[in-house]
Chain A
Amino acid sequence: QQQVKQSPQSLIVQKGGISIINCAYENTAFDYFPWYQQFPGKGPALLIAIRPDVSEKKEGRFTISFNKSAKQFSLHIMDSQPGDSATYFCAARGGANNLFFGTGTRLTVIP
């Protein structure tokens, strides 16, 4: 059973545009929601994270929006650049230290 559902599976955005990736979860015990960026052949790198007591967090061009009542959170990449082309994973942390990952979104930013 997929604990965290992520969409879209793939996304193509023009350079300078906004990339939006959405995730949803069911377990209200999740207490930490990170986003990871993964380039081919590399491990995931923590991009930005949010806790459920905050509705939005912004770091540079990256923003997480969090809707606790809807159990949804999203990543917005402003002014998307070709260098942002990667696979993005949302995740949620539950009990016993576990991180549950979404299925990933392959982002392609075209010049």
Chain B
Amino acid sequence: GAVVSQHPSRVICKSGTSVKIECRSLDFQATTMFWYRQFPKKSLMLMATSNEGSKATYEQGVEKDKFLINHASLTLSTLTVTSAHPEDSSFYICSARAGGLNQPQHFGDGTRLSIL
């Protein structure tokens, strides 16, 4: 089946650091990629949607200057958490979809971000 690889799986860093998370579709071309945030024992909250070569569309309440998303190719999207603070600690999950709405979303294994 379709594979989405997310890296790193875990990162711990000091407050004020910027952290980049990569999301790759390994065996298909991802026209659309999604970034989610999940708090412990909670549901997934969509942060933003990005189409290859276009600016990301952010959900209400998500700071686009804080969470920079780049979708430069059909197999790679990156999320950069700029000047991260302890409240940004969370589980970040990407997903990717090939083609149109009838295609399923495939999820990566997530990145556990811990800001000290």
Contacts and interface: CB of A to CB of B under 8 A. Distances in A.
A66 interface: no
A31 B102 CA distance: 10
Contact of B43 (A41, A42, A96, A104): A104
Contacts, number: 52
Interface string A74-102: 00000000000000010001001111011
Interface stretch (A14-22, A44-52, A53-61): A44-52
A49 B101 CA distance: 14
B43 A99 contact: no
B46 A99 contact: yes
Chain A, interface residues (CB within 8 Å), range: 20 to 34
Contact of A104 (B6, B41, B95): B41
Contacts of B104: 34, 46, 49
A42 B109 CA distance: 4
A43 interface: yes
Chain B, interface residues (CB within 8 Å), range: 20 to 34
Contacts of A101: 43-45
A41 B49 contact: no
B49 A96 contact: yes
A43 B109 contact: yes
B44 A45 contact: no
Contacts of A97: 32, 34, 49, 97, 101
A102 to B, nearest CB: 6
Contacts of B4: 43
Contacts of B106: 46
Given A41-B112, A42-B109, A44-B93, A98 B41 contact: no
A43 B107 contact: yes
Interface of B: 4, 6, 32, 34, 41-46, 49, 57, 93, 95, 97, 101, 104-110, 112
9 contacts: A41-B112, A43-B108, A43-B109, A49-B104, A89-B44, A97-B32, A102-B43, A103-B42, A103-B43
Closest 6 CB pairs of A and B: A43-B107, A101-B43, A43-B109, A101-B44, A43-B110, A103-B43
